[in-house]
Amino acid sequence: MNTKSTINYQEIAKELNGIETTTNSDRLTKLSLDYYHFSPILTEQLQNKRGELAAFPTTEAEVLKIALICVKYKIPLTVRGAGTGNYGQCIPLEGGIILDTSKMNQIQWLKPGIACVQPGVKMAAFDKQARKIGWELRIAPSTYRTATIGGFIGGGSVGMGSVNYGQISDRGNLRRVRLVTLEETPQVLELEGDRVQKVLHAYGTTGIITELEIPLAPAYPWQEIIVTFDDFMTAASFGQALSDSHGIVKKLVSIHASPIPSYFPALKNYIPQGKHCALLMVSEYDITPFQDLVQEYQGEITYSKTAAEAAKGTSLLEFTWNHTTLHARSVDNKLTYLQTFYFTLERLEKLYQQRGDEIMIHLEFLRAGDKAVPAGLQLIRFTTGERLNEIIRDRESQGAFIANPHVYTIEDGGNKQVDPQKVAFKQQVDPYGLLNPGKMRGFRE
């Protein structure tokens, strides 16, 4: 692989004629960031990493042209969408070219149940079109308004809708990808069925996605609701019960322990101090049985907006998942987080009782295996990396699963192990190791 000392990026830009590029330092700095600053550890490791040229292709042909040049000069190539990730997924560790997909933002076709898109389509913008024919994305992150579909497939995992459809890696949640390889002669490949796993959550190390076929969910009018509770475990049990209520259609079940709601000034009129709350999206058609469930758990509905009303303001989605961390850090930037699967309410209760002043828990329920389970991005008052690892080890020893968001390789985060299929596929499509170098640990080993 070449380093910048031997490459003249002005000349590369000329060779890429016809494709929009930039070598502007300020723009490159912005394009070399995601939201890794939620992690003090990643911040230290990643803050000086910079790409040297960014390209903004609009077609697959332009992507092929960029791929050719990268192979010709052995230049590292890192693909990014909107950069809303938190694990440094799209940070160019070795510099080189940044391929920004945001101009590849066409919906190729849209049918009941399924759509074909370019990777740079923003998720909320897609849904605006899809809802016209009664459909929407199955799963989307809290960064829904700005995140791209390609970025979510390449670097994401779960989000709103996961209480119904599980993770993006669950069979069926991605149907087909087209991608450009970085072989000696770059080519276009298509993967269908289970083979799409090779690019899912691979951080763009296994090819440049140029097209995606994604299944859709029926679009409901989603009522946005806040319910408050006196007791956290009652709120958590309510979240489990709602997730398990087959007769009540929902899309988001997020439970926040006090004092987390105090980090949401925009919601302060709806969540009295000291209360725990549920932030929810429930089908408008199912509000009456939902109210019976709230009553059973002695919750109080303090906020309820129809889908039409909710569309005018900020969605409750933007207080859940890792947006919780964003709001908390805007008050106290010493806070960081750990992505945690509790699996059962019993384990959750035990860990909740052990939280001390160091940890604040919120939950997002999602389907994993045969059940809907409590998971969440617990807020942590950061002191040292050692202490953070101690917390991780302690939680793991009690049976929780931690997807560590303070590491930037695929394997050391959620996957926990080298995936031989992904590594073998990378050896085929990226023999020079140019794609997002340093992110797939298994490839270098």
Closest contact distance (angstroms) between CB of 233 and a copy of itself is 17
CA 284 remoteness from chain centre = 27
Q: How far is the CB of 33 from a copy of itself (least distance, A)?
A: 32
Q: Closest separation between CB of residue 284 and a copy of itself, Å? A: 8
Give bridge partners of residue 376 from the DSSP assignment.
Answer: 340
Cβ distance to a copy of itself smaller for residue 203 or 220: 220
Closer residue to a copy of itself (CB): 109 or 285: 285
What are the distances in angstroms from CA 254 to CA 7, 128, 224, 273, 362?
A: 49, 24, 12, 18, 7
- CB of 212 closer than 8 Å to CB of 123: no
CB-nearer residue toward a copy of itself: 146 or 164: 164
Assigned token pair, 237:
């049990």
CB of 105 to a copy of itself, least distance (A): 24
Smallest separation, CB 246 to a copy of itself (Å): 4
Positions in the binding site for a copy of itself (CB under 8 A) = 112-114, 134, 138, 164-166, 170-173, 175, 192-194, 215-216, 218, 220, 240, 244-248, 283-286, 288-293, 367, 369-372
C-alpha span between 416 and 403 (Å, rounded): 8
Query: Which of 165/263 has CB closer to a copy of itself?
Result: 165
| Minimum distance, C-beta of residue 241 to a copy of itself, in the bound complex (Å) | 9
Separation of alpha carbons 86 and 203, rounded Å: 12
Nearer to a copy of itself by C-beta: 162 or 258?
A: 162
Q: How far is the CB of 281 from a copy of itself (least distance, A)?
A: 15
Q: Which is nearer to a copy of itself, 33 or 110 (CB)?
A: 110
**Closest Cα partner for 309 from 394, 372, 223, 376?**
223
Tell me the closest approach of the beta carbon of residue 301 to a copy of itself, in angstroms. Answer: 14
Give whichever of 184 and 296 is closer to a copy of itself, judged by the CB atom. Answer: 296
**292 or 396: whose CB is closer to a copy of itself?**
292
